[in-house]
Amino acid sequence: MKKSVFLFPGQGAQYGGMAGKEFLNTPQSIRIFNKASAILGYDLRKICEEADENQLRDTLITQPAVFVTSYIHFEHVKYLLPTAQFMAGHSLGEYTALVCANAISFEDALRLVQKRAELMKNATVSGTMAAVNKVDPRFVACICAEVSAPGAQVSIGAYNSNDQTVITGNHQGVKLVSNRCLALNGVVTPLKVSSPFHSQLMKVAADSFRDDLHSVNFQKPTCKVISNTTGLPFNEANDIVDNLTAQLTNPIQWVQTVNYLRKNGVCFFTEIGPGKTLKNLLRGTPGLIASSTDNQKDLNALADVLKTSVASVATLITTCLGIAMSIRNNNNDIQEYQVGMVEPYRSIKKLQWKLEQEGAYPSPQDIREAVDNFCKILRTKKIGETEEKYWLETLFAETGTLNLMPDYAEMLR
Counting DSSP H helices and E strands in the chain, the numbers are 18, 10
Integer Cα distance of 250 and 256 in angstroms = 14
| Contact status, residue 261 vs residue 241, Cβ threshold 8 Å | no
Residue 4 appears among annotated catalytic residues: no
DSSP annotation string for 52-78: -TTGGGSHHHHHHHHHHHHHHHHHHHT
Burial of 371 from C-beta contacts in 10 A (0-12 / 13-18 / 19+)? buried
For residue 63, count CB atoms less than 10 angstroms from its CB and return exposed for 0-12, middle for 13-18, buried for 19 or more: buried
Residues facing residue 130 across a β-bridge: 167, 190
Please say whether the beta carbons of 379 and 388 come within 8 A: yes
- Phi, psi dihedral angles at 165 (to 5 degrees): -130, 140
- Active-site residue flag, 198: yes
Q: Give the other-Cβ count within 10 Å of 354's Cβ.
A: 12
C-alpha distances out from residue 179 to 183, 364, 401, Å: 6, 55, 48
* Dihedrals phi, psi of 176, to nearest 5 degrees: -65, -45
Cα separations in angstroms, 59 against 63, 146, 295: 6, 31, 25
- Among 183, 187, 180, 176, smallest CA distance to 132 is for 187
DSSP H or E stretch at residue 324? helix 316-326
| Alpha carbons 13 and 4: distance in angstroms, whole number | 22
DSSP 236: S
- Which of the following is catalytic: 91, 178, 199, 292? 91
What residue spans of 122-253 are helical by DSSP H? 137-147, 171-183, 203-214, 237-247
How many residues are given for the chain?
413
291-300: buried (b, 16+ CB within 10 Å) or exposed (e) per residue? bbbbeeebbe
Catalytic residue among 76, 161, 198, 199: 198
Strands 164-169 and 128-133: antiparallel
Q: Among all residues, which ones are annotated catalytic?
A: 91, 198
